Structure 1
Amino acid sequence: MIDKITVVGAGNVGATAAQRVAEKELAREVVLIDIAEGIPQGKGLDQWESAPIEGFDTRVTGSNGYEESAGSGIYIVTAGIARKPGMSRDDLLTTNAGIVRQVAENIARVSPNAIIIMVSNPLDVMCYVAMKASGFPRERVIGMAGVLDTGRYRSFLAEAIDVSVEDIQAMVLGGHGDTMVPLISYTTVSGIPITQLIDKERLDAIVDRARNGGAEIVKYLKTGSAYYAPSSGAVQMAEAIVKDKKRILPCAAWLQGEYGMKDLFLGVPCKLGRNGLEQIIEVELTDEEKAALRKSADAVLEPMALV
């Protein structure tokens, strides 16, 4: 447990993340920040009132400013507009870049030693904006993408072959978007290669569904986007950091030569511990996976040039 974790953005993702952090008692205090007057205060109070029922002692408060968040060890940034049907993650670029830039500057001002977990879309580019605006090293700006994408991939596989999600080991790399790269060569069920349990046609369909998992939910909701799974992904990362678990999770990290790439955020296997990003793990990829990862990187670099 650390003293304070702040969640920026009191919408569906942020509010759900704050509740999960509190219920796991990852910090003594959770601060929920949003520009909308009354919204973070009301949601924070509502969550605190659930504490006696759920059995947690983490204090949840809401604020419209950053002063109350001073000294936070971790910031989970969910601020920005959400996708609507027909919108891509990149359609959010200009608006959310301005919001994230201001958020990162405020974080650096009041909590210069914090770790940022970025959730706002387009994820990889928003990580870049936050790192530039905050001046933080790459170890302290990490994007939540691969954890979510892998969760979707694992859930679809478990459903298809009728096994527990706990027995699906998998990893999705690349940019958080339509070019993400599920690593079939590293996908197993309790150590059994997935290719021994499911035919290529069905596996290809599952990979395609995972790539479009966010859009599928947007289509159903019509007026919003996913929030239960994204908040779970962000909090899993926060827990790995708070508890110094040294977990290997697929996260968006600033590459400096790893996988033959440099100067961009891309989803890769990361060791997360008390210091944030503690190591990028380089795994051997098939030629097909290498090509897909390069294509995904190109899709990230294009919008990066616009911010």
Structure 2
Amino acid sequence: MVKVSVIGAGNVGATCANVLAFNRIASTIVMLDVKEGIAEGKVIDMLQAAQTLGFETNIISSTNNYELTAESDVIVVTSGIPRGPGMTREELIGTNANIVKSVVSQCLVYSPNAVFVIISNPVDTMTYLVSRFTGILKSKVIGMGGVLDSSRFKYYLRIALKANPSQIEGMVIGGHGDTTMIPLKRLATYNGIPVTELLSVDVLNKVVADTMVGGATLTGLLGTSAWYAPGAAGAYVVESIVKDYKRIIPSCVLLEGEYGQENICIGVPVVVGRWGVEKIIDVGLNVEEKALFEKSVEAIRRVNNIL
């Protein structure tokens, strides 16, 4: 029996809960929101869809009743305000830091052993907040940024290659920001063949550029942050935890010497299993990648200093 709580019933949180339910990843899902009626209404909608789609997941909801989250295996935190057009993720820090700290503190009262998946933006700094100021083991705090950025990287590779998406592999590390993420061109493949051998330098550079503004592009089109891909990415991380899949997932985690960094949360490849972060993988960055990683670290530290 697996219990997952999703805090924040906005577009991302609701999508995450819906993916978890539809794919039977959890037996019980709890969804909370501070705004009365939002979580309740969306859960009723999901359960009515269950009659058609055929899933039997138990989904419950409430307005801020954290007792319902008791003994959760995983808690997904999506709470906070989303980006609007022209906003950076960093501009959200003042409001969202207070929200995230309050949410996590209340969850810990009822689920002290849960693994936390942080989606609230700016995710690198919100993950740092939870890792450093709540007393949770660092292995039980995972920031969801790299999965989403990698899915966007693979999407643009798919377009450039005119390829089968199931045969494309690609990874993005670094910060979850328009100027801090690092799509690893060198490691991207199509059916095992390096994409550097299949695409010209100019085309591949455009893929990287499009990936880095992938979120901002959608915000400009939608008038708010995207939600289908972020919600699915959160569910993907949860699935690797509760099913102990031990997937290698680019995730924002606290580094304590790895990649030559201390006291910072940033996206790197990690093995994600039943107990959260089981191992941090060093992929051996080349000179160019190390320089980009250092710049990403510096940018995140500046935002952390504001925190």
Q: TM-score, normalised by structure 1?
A: 0.98
Please state whether the residue corresponding to 2:71 is helix, strand or coil. Answer: coil
Please, which runs of 5 or more residues in structure 1 have no aligned partner?
Answer: none
Structure 1 counterpart of 2:50 = 51
Name the residue aligned to 1:19: 18
Give the distance between the partners of 2:227 and 2:27, measured in 1 at CA: 24
Which residue does 2:273 correspond to in 1? 273
Displacement of 1:3: 2.9
Deviations 1:136-174 (A, max 9, x none): 011100011110000000010111110011111111000
Aligned match of 2:251: 251
CA distances 1:15-56 after superposition (whole Å, capped 9, x unpaired): 111111111112221111000011111111111122221111
- Alpha-carbon distance in 1 for matches of 2:162, 2:183: 20
1:32–1:40 Cα contact (<8 Å) kept: yes
- Provide the secondary structure at the position in 1 that maps to 2:255: strand
Q: What are structure 2's unaligned runs of at least 5 residues?
A: none
For the 8 Å contact 2:131–2:254, the answer to whether it is kept is: no
Deviation at 1:195, TM superposition (A): 1.1
Tell me if the contact between 1:131 and 1:138 (Cα under 8 Å) persists in the aligned partners: yes
Q: Which moved more, 1:48-57 or 1:199-208?
A: 48-57
Partner of 1:218: 219
CA deviations 1:178-202 (Å, max 9, x no partner) are 2101111111111111111110111
Which residue pairs with 2:144 in the alignment?
Answer: 144
Please state how far the C-alpha of 1:131 moved relative to its aligned partner. Answer: 2.2
> Matches of 1:24 and 1:7 in 2, distance apart?
16
Cα-to-partner distance string for 1:67-99 (whole Å, 9 max, x where unaligned): 111111101111100000110000001000010
Give the match's secondary structure for 1:27.
coil
Aligned to 1:121, the other structure's residue is in SS state coil
Is contact 1:104-1:133 (8 Å) kept? no
- For the Cα contact (< 8 Å) 2:264–2:301, is it kept in 1? yes
Amino acid at match of 1:16: T
After superposition, the CA RMSD in angstroms is 0.9
| Residues 1:34 and 2:25 aligned together | no
In the TM superposition, what are the counterparts of 1:83-162 in structure 2 within 5 Å? 83-162=83-162
Query: Structure 2 counterpart of 1:4, which letter?
Result: K
1:61 Cα offset (Å): 1.3
Opposite residue 221 of structure 2, the aligned amino acid is Y
Q: Which residue pairs with 1:305 in the alignment?
A: 305
Give 1:133 shift: 4.0
> 2-side partners of 1:306 and 1:176: how far apart?
17
Question: How many positions carry a matched residue from both structures?
Answer: 305
Equivalent residue letter for 1:192: I
CA contact (8 A) 2:2 2:242 kept: no
> What letter corresponds to residue 102 of structure 1 in structure 2?
S
How far apart are 1:213 and its partner, in Å? 0.4
Contact 1:116 1:142 in 2 (8 A): yes
Deviations 1:193-243 (A, max 9, x none): 111111011111110110110000000012x11100001111101001111
Letter in 1 for 2:33: D
Give the aligned residue type for 1:306.
Answer: I
Report the counterpart of residue 190 of structure 1 in structure 2: 191
Mark the CA change 1:151 to 1:52 in structure 2 (over 3 Å): closer, same or farther. Answer: same
**Equivalence map 1:274-289=2 (5 Å):** 274-289=274-289
AA aligned opposite 2:83: R
User: Would the aligned equivalents of 1:170 and 1:186 in 2 still touch at CA under 8 Å?
Assistant: yes
Q: Secondary structure at the match of 2:265?
A: strand
* Identity within the alignment, %: 42
Write the distance in 1 (CA, Å) between the matches of 2:269 and 2:161. Answer: 25
